[in-house]
Amino acid sequence: MEIRVDGNRSSAENWMRAQNASIRELPILSPEQKTVANKLGLSDEDYARSAFAGDLERENLKKKAQQAARLIGQLASRKVPGIRVESVWLKTFDRKFRFDLEFNGSDALIFVSEDLIDELFESGSRLAEEQLLRIVDLGLPSAWTAMAS
């Protein structure tokens, strides 16, 4: 399964982790990054710490996207056994997931709010799960559900 995360952000936890990291842990800046840091009035070290915080969060977001894809795959399989999640794409600025599904050689897309996924993962909300089931149900092509019946 392909996992894609577009955009960048950092949690407070990863920001603090980056601020406390040793110089050896920080990424080496490319010439282009050094130019950007200079234009922003940041030292190379401050820019590297910011980039490191973003890298740490990107790993967390990839794990979250993978977990969300497994969840959507499980929910979709309740309606259409044999369905597969081919890829998941988290658009951080839009706070949306895009799931590319495949079944018997045809494709479908499902879009889900990141906030809805967070609500289920963070609180186990039954309402969030019901909303996700409805989104999956509405997103699956009717030909797929008819073949599964």
- What is the spatial distance between Cα 90 and Cα 8, in angstroms, rounded to a whole number? 11
Q: What is the pTM of this model?
A: 0.84
Q: Which domain holds residue 118?
A: 2-148
Question: What are the tokens at 29?
Answer: 């800046």
46-74 residue pLDDT tens? 999 999 999 999 999 999 999 999 999 99
What is the reported pLDDT for 97? 98
12-41 residue pLDDT tens? 999 999 999 999 999 999 999 999 999 999
- What is the spatial distance between Cα 66 and Cα 69, in angstroms, rounded to a whole number? 5
DSSP state at residue 97: E
The domain total for the chain is 1
Query: Which residues are paired to 85 by β-bridges?
Result: 101
Nearest to 1 by CA among 70, 72, 87: 87
